[in-house]
Chains A and B, each alone.
Chain A
C-alpha cells in the first residue's frame, strides 16, 4: 500500500508547513464555512478566495499538479448534483408576513450551477491544502486541542496508524492464497475463500488490538487519554488567518 497516500508532502518545510496545527485547522475550517456562505450569484468573493489559496499553494511548495488532482475528485459529484439543478425548476417558497405575501423562487440556472461547482472546488482545494501542509498526525492532535471528543480523535489515530499494517497483512494473505492456487475456482468456492480471508484478517486484527492494548498498559495507560503536547505560536500564526480570510471577508463586505 502507498504509505504516503494520506498526507503526501506534509513533511516539506515551507512557512505554511511550520504553522501551528491549531491555527491551520481553525483558519481553513473558517475559510470553508465562509466560502460556503457566499451568495449564489456572487462570484468575486470566490475568485478572491481562489487567488488567496493559489498564493498559499505557491508558498507551501506542494506541487500544483498534486493539489489539483486531489481537488478535482469532487467535480463528478458536483456535476451530478448541479446537473439536476440545471434541469429542475426552482421550488417556490411562499412567505406570508404582516398581511403581505412574498414569493421566492429557488436558485436554478447556469450561474448558481457554476457558483456551486466553484465553491465545491475551492472547499476541497482548501482541505487538500490543509492535510498536505499539516499532516494527519498534527491534524488529529489539533482536533483534540479544539475540543473534538478524545474517543473520535483517538479512534482516527489508531485507524491512521494501523490501516497500512492491516492492508499489508491482507496483501500478504492474498499473495499466500494466490501462490497455492493452481487454477480458477468456481464462484462459490471463490466467495468462500474471500470470506475466509476477511474472517482471518478480522481475527488477526482483533488479536493485534489486544497486543497493542497490552503495550499501552505497560506504559502506564489507565483508560484516561493523555493530553497532546502544546506547540508554540509565532508571528506567522497571526498573519496566516489574516491573509487567508481577510481578502475574502473584505470582498463580501464591499
Chain B
C-alpha cells in the first residue's frame, strides 16, 4: 500500500498585511501520486507550495516523508522537494544553464564527478543536452521552462511541485512540457489554472478557495462537476465537456 509522502495538518498562514492565505488545510498526498491543485487567483495555491519546503511556515504541521518541515530539517527537506516556479526568469539566476542546473547539487556538497553526472542526466531528461553553455537569456521561453525543471531534477527530488507549469507557453511548447512532466518518476503537484493539463496528467484534484480545501477527489469526477467548478471560478475542461 502506498504511504503518504506529504502530510499537512491544520495548516494556516496569514501574510504580514493581514491576508489569510491558508485556513486550516489538512491534506495527505501519497507517494508517486500526481495531484492537481486548482482554484481561483488568490486561493492560496502558491502559498501552499511554498510551505512544502519551508520557504513559508505557518501554524500547523507539514511533514515530508515523515520529516517535519522545520529549521533543523530544512536541508534534507529541500533535497526532497523541488519547486519549479512560475516565472523561469526567477528560477534561472546563474549566468549559464550548466551553472544553474549544477547549483542544487553543489549546495548538497556533492563530489564534482557526481555533480557533472547529475547535470548531464538532468539536461538529458529535460531535452536540453547541448545547451549547457547557453546563457538563460539566450533561450526561448519553452527552453527556459525546461531548464527550470532540469535545475531541480539534478537534485533528484522525490516530490516535484510545479507552479503554473504551462502559463505563457505556445501549444507546441506546452505539449512537449506536459509530456516531459508525465514521464517524470516522482510525486508531482501541479498548481495551475490549465484544467486540460490537470485532466491529462493528474489522478487526483484538490480544489482550493479562500485558503480552504473545498473539494478533493478523483480527477475526472471533480473536474466534470460543473456546479463545483463554476462556483469556485473554474471551468470544466473542454475534453470532459465534450464527453458529457
Looking at chain A, what size class is its interface with the partner chain?
20 to 34
Chain B interface secondary structure, helix, strand, loop or mixed? Answer: helix
Cβ of A226: which chain B residues have Cβ within 8 Å of it?
Answer: 103, 106-107
Complex-state Cα separation, A73 to B123, whole angstroms:
40
A153 to chain B, nearest CB (A): 10
Cβ of B137: which chain A residues have Cβ within 8 Å of it?
Answer: 3, 161, 164-165
B108 to chain A, nearest CB (A): 6
Contact with A along B103-135 (1 / 0, CB 8 A): 110111000100110000000000000000101
Determine whether the beta carbon of A229 is less than 8 Å from that of B102: yes
Determine whether the beta carbon of B112 is less than 8 Å from that of A220: no
Decide yes or no whether B55 CB sits under 8 A from chain A.
yes
Complex-state Cα separation, A226 to B75, whole angstroms:
15
Complex-state Cα separation, A229 to B103, whole angstroms:
10
Complex-state Cα separation, A161 to B79, whole angstroms:
25
Determine whether the beta carbon of B103 is less than 8 Å from that of A219: yes
Cβ of A228: which chain B residues have Cβ within 8 Å of it?
Answer: 99
Known pairs A11-B133, A219-B104, A219-B107; A229 contacts B94 (CB<8 A) = no
| A-B CB contacts (within 8 Å), total count | 88
B18 to chain A, nearest CB (A): 19
Cβ of A206: which chain B residues have Cβ within 8 Å of it?
Answer: none
Contact with B along A64-93 (1 / 0, CB 8 A): 000000000000000000000000000000
Contact with A along B169-183 (1 / 0, CB 8 A): 000000000000000
B186 to chain A, nearest CB (A): 15
Determine whether the beta carbon of B151 is less than 8 Å from that of A161: no
Within 8 A of A (CB), among B147-165: 151-152, 155
Contact with B along A120-143 (1 / 0, CB 8 A): 000000000000000111001100
Decide yes or no whether A197 CB sits under 8 A from chain B.
no
Chain A interface secondary structure, helix, strand, loop or mixed? Answer: helix
Determine whether the beta carbon of A222 is less than 8 Å from that of B75: yes
Complex-state Cα separation, A67 to B200, whole angstroms:
53
Determine whether the beta carbon of B151 is less than 8 Å from that of A219: yes
- A residues neighboring B (CB under 8 Å): 3, 11, 135-137, 140-141, 157-158, 160-162, 164-165, 208, 211-212, 214-222, 226-230
15 A-B interface contacts by CB (under 8 A): A137-B94, A137-B95, A140-B95, A157-B94, A161-B93, A161-B94, A161-B135, A161-B137, A164-B137, A214-B85, A215-B83, A216-B93, A219-B103, A220-B75, A229-B115
- B residues neighboring A (CB under 8 Å): 50, 53, 55, 75, 78-79, 81-83, 85, 87, 89-96, 98-99, 102-104, 106-108, 112, 115-116, 133, 135-138, 151-152, 155
Since A137-B95, A140-B95, A157-B95 are in contact, a sample of 12 more A-B pairs with Cβ atoms closer than 8 Å, ordered by chain A residue number, is A3-B138, A137-B94, A137-B99, A141-B99, A161-B94, A214-B50, A218-B53, A218-B78, A218-B81, A220-B75, A222-B107, A229-B106
